[in-house]
């Protein structure tokens, strides 16, 4: 029997995904996501654009040193200084890759690059050859490939192969194509580009018209050997292909696709939750695979069918993506050993003893306020990385005076360096008043741009998780807070955001 073909996954959550408006991850948060992606089993992680900023370089470099089995990629323009910086960042990775790109569509060459065809042809090949001096693994992308003239694109790709490219990515940069058209486009490349059989063919599809997953799946059928995407479909504009959807598509319809991959599907739910928590981008309830309603059944007919036989309305099981119905029956008298064992069962592995101690401390504090701690509470607590942000301002205490026939007032005490500063302020409600008091103490005249709240579990003692985005000096800063008290959650989210400023 013929063996199934293996497909590779390149995750670009930390590069293209971080370009989602309002998302701004720090080094610790990026490392946490990278480690989760390695546990998930993706083949490559595009960790950033090394030359874009000092922060991006440090993130790529830190991830390259930390990962034990996953390839680490840095994006670079077709410029020697970009490629130098990319190599400096990824050189310590177990499998380092440089990913260089240059646009090939008429519209990009004319208006963005201001280059002729001959210049693009020459510069793309030169960039690949230059990167090849550093590493054998070089990926080249003709940006806006699907709007490029095929005959010219074939020449560029042939030049990249001759210069030493080991992977050619054919991106649908603006989400313009459709499955049938993309299949024909890719087959044209395979039939007309000399040496194409010696390299991996990758695809990177954007979701502007809602076809990123469909286009990526069509590409896999057409012979692509690598798919790029993001957890939860993050990315610029409409986002990228959602890796979790593609993985479960290939698994559920193995009869049709006959593809193997290295992804551990039981880690999907945990990874999705972590990415959502750290980026502040909530997953829509009806999103496939990881949405809150993905395995929920409200219709009476559906409920009856599922109770009799799950396969009537479920084509995959909740357990297959890492969802369980277990509850954590630990309380305030529970020990660290039982706590760590439950973390392990949930697929959560704090990297250091210090992280275990911090997580256990959060658990004990919660257990004092909440009778029963559920798995969802634990995932939310361990995913709370607010303490990874340098704390210029820390909450000491707050006091609220609020009502519908009185002036809403908040008195907030913050630790600032070695001092404790107290300010009182009024506002439209207790949260608005608290934010004004924080602004007065910090000296930042920020504007609240977005505020979302969700209950982690049900019940009167549920954890409340608040995500906010504030604007200061033209930049957006994200914050997250979690507590059984929603006012406290809101204040902690605000402090998480203002601590990112400067």
> What pLDDT, in 10s, does the model give residues 82-105?
999 999 999 999 999 999 999 999
Q: Contact 111/88 with Cβ under 8 angstroms?
A: no
Question: Looking at the structure, do residues 455 and 311 belong to the same domain, yes or no?
Answer: no
Question: Looking at the structure, do residues 342 and 392 belong to the same domain, yes or no?
Answer: no
Question: Looking at the structure, do residues 185 and 240 belong to the same domain, yes or no?
Answer: yes
Residue 463 has pLDDT above 90, yes or no: no
pTM value is 0.84
Write the pLDDT tens digit of every residue in 51-63: 999 999 999 999 9
Question: Looking at the structure, do residues 368 and 390 belong to the same domain, yes or no?
Answer: no
d(CA 74, CA 139): 10
Write the pLDDT tens digit of every residue in 331-358: 666 778 778 877 776 666 665 778 788 8
More confident residue, 110 or 480: 110
Residue span of the structural domain in which 361 resides: 336-382
d(CA 43, CA 25): 22
H or E element that contains 43: none
Taking the CA atoms of the chain, what radius of gyration do you get in angstroms? 25
Residue 278 has pLDDT above 80, yes or no: yes
- 101-105, 271-275, 379-383: range with highest mean pLDDT: 101-105
d(CA 75, CA 46): 7
d(CA 165, CA 487): 54
CA angle 454, 458, 460 (to 5 degrees): 95
Residue 454 — pLDDT band, cuts 50, 70, 90?
A: confident
d(CA 446, CA 465): 21
What is the number of structural domains in the chain?
4
pLDDT of residue 241: 98
Write the pLDDT tens digit of every residue in 107-154: 999 999 999 999 999 999 999 999 999 999 999 999 999 999 999 999
Residue 215 has pLDDT above 60, yes or no: yes
pLDDT of residue 110: 95
Question: Looking at the structure, do residues 263 and 350 belong to the same domain, yes or no?
Answer: no
Question: Looking at the structure, do residues 357 and 493 belong to the same domain, yes or no?
Answer: no
Residue 385 — pLDDT band, cuts 50, 70, 90?
A: low
pLDDT of residue 465: 87
pLDDT of residue 4: 86
d(CA 491, CA 463): 14
Structural domain contains residue 213: yes
Question: Looking at the structure, do residues 264 and 125 belong to the same domain, yes or no?
Answer: yes
Question: Looking at the structure, do residues 430 and 349 belong to the same domain, yes or no?
Answer: no
CATH number at residue 152: 3.20.20.70
Helices 268-279 + 27-40 axis angle, to 10: 170
CA angle 185, 221, 207 (to 5 degrees): 65
pLDDT of residue 395: 95
**Percent of the chain predicted with pLDDT > 70:** 89
Structural domain contains residue 47: yes
Question: Looking at the structure, do residues 397 and 378 belong to the same domain, yes or no?
Answer: no
> Count of CB atoms within 10 A of residue 445's CB?
9
pLDDT of residue 221: 97
Tokens of 161: 């192969």
55-76 as b/e, with b when 16 or more CB fall inside 10 Å?
ebbbbbbbbbebbeebbbbbbb
> Count of CB atoms within 10 A of residue 293's CB?
12
Q: Contact 51/80 with Cβ under 8 angstroms?
A: no
Question: Looking at the structure, do residues 259 and 398 belong to the same domain, yes or no?
Answer: no
């Amino acid at each position: 029997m013929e063996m199934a073909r293996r497909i590779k996954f390149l995750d670009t959550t930390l590069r293209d995904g971080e370009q989602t408006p309002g998302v701004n991850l720090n080094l610790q948060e990026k490392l946490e996501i990278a480690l989760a992606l390695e546990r998930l089993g993706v083949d490559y992680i595009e960790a950033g654009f090394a030359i874009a900023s000092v922060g991006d370089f440090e993130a790529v470099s830190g991830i390259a040193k930390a990962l034990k089995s996953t390839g680490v990629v840095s994006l670079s323009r077709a410029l020697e200084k970009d490629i130098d910086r990319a190599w400096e960042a990824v050189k310590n990775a177990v499998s380092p890759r440089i990913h260089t790109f240059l646009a090939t569509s008429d519209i990009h060459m004319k208006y963005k690059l201001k280059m002729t065809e001959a210049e693009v042809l020459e510069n793309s090949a030169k960039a690949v050859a230059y990167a090849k001096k550093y590493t054998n693994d070089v990926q080249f992308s003709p940006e806006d490939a699907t709007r490029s003239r095929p005959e010219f694109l074939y020449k560029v790709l042939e030049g990249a192969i001759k210069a030493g490219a080991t992977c050619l990515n054919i991106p649908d940069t603006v989400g313009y194509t459709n499955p049938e058209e993309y299949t024909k486009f890719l087959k044209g490349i395979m039939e007309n580009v000399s040496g194409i059989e010696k390299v991996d063919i990758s695809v990177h599809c954007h979701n502007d018209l809602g076809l990123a997953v469909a286009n990526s799946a069509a590409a896999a059928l057409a012979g692509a050997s690598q798919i790029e995407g993001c957890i939860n479909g993050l990315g610029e504009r409409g986002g990228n292909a959602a890796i979790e959807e593609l993985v479960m598509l290939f698994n559920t319809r193995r009869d049709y696709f006959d593809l193997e991959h290295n992804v551990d599907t039981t880690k999907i739910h945990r990874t999705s939750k972590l990415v959502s928590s750290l980026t502040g981008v909530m997953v829509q309830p009806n999103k496939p695979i990881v949405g809150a309603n993905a395995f929920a059944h409200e219709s009476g007919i559906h409920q009856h069918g599922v109770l009799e036989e799950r396969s009537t309305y479920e084509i995959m099981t909740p357990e297959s993506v890492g969802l369980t119905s277990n509850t954590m029956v630990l309380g305030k008298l529970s020990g660290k050993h039982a706590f760590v064992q439950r973390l392990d069962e949930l697929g959560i592995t704090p990297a250091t003893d210090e992280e275990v101690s911090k997580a256990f401390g959060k658990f004990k504090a919660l257990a004092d306020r909440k009778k029963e701690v559920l798995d969802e509470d634990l995932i939310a607590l361990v995913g709370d990385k607010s303490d990874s942000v340098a704390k210029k301002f820390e909450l000491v205490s707050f006091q609220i005076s609020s009502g519908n026939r009185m002036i809403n007032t908040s008195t907030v005490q913050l630790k600032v360096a070695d001092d404790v500063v107290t300010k009182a302020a009024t506002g439209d409600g207790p949260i608005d008043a608290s934010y004004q008091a924080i602004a007065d103490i910090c000296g930042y005249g920020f504007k609240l741009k977005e505020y979302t709240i969700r209950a982690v579990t049900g019940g009167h003692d549920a954890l409340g998780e608040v995500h906010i985005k504030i604007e200061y000096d033209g930049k957006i800063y994200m914050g997250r807070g979690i507590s059984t008290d929603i006012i406290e959650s809101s204040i902690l989210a605000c402090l998480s955001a203002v601590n990112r400023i400067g």
